Amino acid sequence: MALLKSNKVLYCLGNVSPSLGVLSSRNSSWWGGVQMGPPDPILGVTEAFKRDTNPKKMNLGVGAYRDDQGKPYVLNCVRKAEAVIAEKKLDKEYLPIGGLGEFAKACAQLALGADNEVLKSGRNITVQTISGTGSLRIGANFLSRFHGGPRDVYLPKPSWGNHTPIFRDAGMQLKAYRYYDPSTCGFDFKGALEDISKIPEQSVIVLHACAHNPTGVDPRPEQWKEISDLVKKRNLLVFFDMAYQGFASGDIDRDAWAVRHFIEQGHNIVLSQSFAKNMGLYGERVGGFTVVCKDAEEAKRVESQLKILIRPIYSNPPMNGARIATTILNTPELRAMWLEEVHGMANRIIKMREQLVAGLKKEGSSHNWQHVIDQIGMFCFTGLKPEQVERLTKEFSVYMTKDGRISMAGVSSGNVGYLAHGIHAVTK
């Protein structure tokens, strides 16, 4: 019997009766009842931007880094790594289900630090995944199948839009803990602690390791320490999402501090990593998923089950990006080059934040824009209200999402003054 789970689907009752499944005419279709899916809010912004003919238009929805000319940036270390790989004339044989072994190792070392006790004892299992999304999905599937605790996954409010459907499709349920304080455009530390203290034991809590998406608001180290203590007290399973290591502060160790602190404090975390932004490998889909286990024996069991999960989704992951990332991480001059370039990208963002605030002051804005500088990473939660966003788009051709989020990557020294002018105009 067909179960109508979705109240969004309308049936063309004249054509298809779900319980009988009878096609009444040659021209009717199996898919008459399939609704048009809602347009992606971010893509919608880009579509509208493309149609705009204003030469001063700005696309601040884009979640990919742009250089100061507004162009995509292919890292030099990536180009060099590609040349090295091309020389090797490698074959194209299937990778193992868990991906390129050297990649998994380098990926874990990057997150945890090469001298981490976890790595030395072999009690982690790290698999190569289809970038951050693929990692989160494998993790969600793994928890859904093997986590004996509650089905509930607690996300910060707000979180990356795709977190919710990923966990939901994996069979988990979503809840939230307070995170962003709109009155300060900063961290609602008190609210977060209050909410976390009420989370039932063994629930899953998702933490953004650094450069929170979409707010750019990160806890300070002393705040992370308190969160860690509380999470330990509540016996929660920690799922770290680290999509911006290196990209947030410019320093890979600093950006991984929270992850390493939690592990040091005894949390056996699960961790998703992405190399889309920090290596600019977006379309190559490079990521990793790590489970920190009790010991090496448990890690072997967990590994075997991760493979069983991965095989019916895509069999084994793509080689190209993982090969590039591994070459960079394991070749000293390329690694040094990468660290400089990622530092450079982070610095450009930081500079744009400073210039935007300076520009707003110059325009005569009386508002406090300190949060623009305090926030970190690619995104900035400006604090603009939907009506103000609409005006900014209509009157100035500045495209951003309705929640007031802008991608600093879309800001350059050539247009930051214009942006400041527009923001001032709609907020004065």
Q: Known catalytic residues?
A: 160, 241, 277
Of 266 and 332, the one with the shorter C-beta distance to other proteins is 266
From 181-189, 314-322, 345-353, 384-392, give the range in contact with other proteins by CB under 8 A: 314-322
267 touching other proteins, by CB under 8 A? yes
Q: Which of 364, 346, 356, 345 is nearest to 419 (CA)?
A: 356
For other proteins, the binding residue among 133, 245, 272, 401 (CB under 8 A) is 133
Tell me the closest approach of the beta carbon of residue 299 to other proteins, in angstroms.
Answer: 9
145 vs 362, which CB is nearer to other proteins?
145
Give the CA-trace dihedral at 246, 241, 210, 44, to 10 degrees: 90
**Cα(81)–Cα(245) distance, rounded to whole angstroms?**
20
Q: Does 146 bind other proteins (CB under 8 A)?
A: yes
Q: What is the smallest separation between the CB atom of 209 and other proteins, expressed in angstroms? A: 19
Q: What letter does residue 72 receive in the DSSP assignment?
A: B
Collapse the DSSP code of 242 into the 3-class scheme (helix H, G, I; strand E, B; otherwise coil) and give the result.
strand
Q: Which positions from 339 through 368 interact with other proteins, judged by CB under 8 A? A: none
Nearer to other proteins, 136 or 426 (CB): 136
Q: Which of 70, 96, 113, 344 binds other proteins (CB under 8 A)?
A: 96
Q: How far apart are CA 272 and CA 411, in angstroms?
A: 28
Interface region with other proteins, contact rule CB under 8 A, candidates 107-115, 140-148, 187-195, 373-381: 140-148
Exactly one of 51, 53, 94, 120 binds other proteins (CB under 8 A); that residue is 94
Instruction: Determine how β-strand 152-157 pairs with β-strand 204-208.
Output: parallel
The answer to whether 356 and 411 are in contact (CB under 8 A) is yes
- In the range 165-194, which residues lie near other proteins by CB under 8 A? 165-166, 168-169
Q: How crowded is the C-beta side of 6, counted as CA atoms within 13 Å?
A: 8
Q: Give the nearer residue to other proteins in terms of CB position, either 59 or 427.
A: 59
Q: How far apart are CA 98 and CA 134, in angstroms?
A: 12
Pick between residue 93 and residue 222 the one whose CB is nearest to other proteins: 93
Identified binder of other proteins from the candidate list 304, 368, 370, 413, rule CB under 8 A: 304
The 124-130 sheet, strands edge to edge: 124-130, 286-292, 270-274, 237-242, 204-208, 152-157, 173-178
